[in-house]
């Protein structure tokens, strides 16, 4: 498995752990992880690069909580009708796990810095392994 996929899976697991602190919804499942592993490598590298760039340089307002700005599935599929995550959890803009999580997280103030810290920690851990 390519490095970008390994980092994305760690990132999604970290997001899932944070979500679990606030609500009892399985944000990232084994099926979601397997979906990432099956994604085309070159397309995935592009999607991962876009996601980490937005987290590194985006405004705090654009990456609060859960959003298309912090979702590898959104960057990869760029079409809700084709999204594997949406097929399993519900399309984000409809009645779905995403909507229930977002409503909960809005009350908690999970901010952009959480994503930056999470991304930094998984990248540093990866560098230590190499």
pLDDT digits (tens, 9 = 90+) for 74-90: 999 999 889 999 999 88
Local confidence band at 107 (pLDDT 50, 70, 90 cut-offs):
low
Share of the chain above pLDDT 70, in %: 84
State the angle between helix axes of 41-57 and 112-129 in degrees (0 to 180), rounded to the nearest 10: 130
> Domain ranges in the chain?
3-124
Q: What is the pLDDT of residue 111?
A: 62
Local confidence band at 66 (pLDDT 50, 70, 90 cut-offs):
low
Higher pLDDT pick, 67 / 95:
95
Rounded Cα distance, 36 and 48, in Å? 11
- Chain centre to alpha carbon of residue 68: 9
Segment 4-21 mean pLDDT = 91
Local confidence band at 130 (pLDDT 50, 70, 90 cut-offs):
very low
Choose among 61, 56, 78, 70: nearest CA to 28.
Answer: 70
Rounded Cα distance, 18 and 96, in Å? 18
Choose among 42, 43, 49, 40: nearest CA to 8.
Answer: 49
Does pLDDT of 129 surpass 60? no
Q: What is the pLDDT of residue 23?
A: 85
> Residue 22, Cβ neighbours under 10 Å: how many?
13
Judge contact between 10 and 1, C-beta under 8 A: no
User: pTM of the prediction?
Assistant: 0.81
């Amino acid at each position: 498995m390519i490095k970008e996929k390994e980092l994305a899976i760690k990132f999604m697991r970290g997001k899932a752990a944070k979500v679990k602190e606030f609500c009892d919804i399985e944000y990232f499942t084994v099926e979601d992880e397997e979906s990432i592993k099956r994604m085309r490598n070159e397309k995935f590298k592009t999607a991962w690069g876009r996601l980490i760039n937005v987290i590194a340089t985006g405004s705090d307002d654009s990456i609060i909580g859960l959003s298309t700005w912090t979702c590898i599935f959104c960057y990869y599929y760029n079409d809700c009708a084709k999204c594997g995550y949406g097929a399993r959890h519900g399309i984000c803009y409809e009645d779905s796990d995403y909507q229930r999580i977002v409503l909960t997280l809005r009350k908690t103030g999970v901010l952009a810095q959480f994503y930056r810290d999470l991304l930094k920690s998984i990248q540093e851990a990866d560098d230590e392994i190499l």
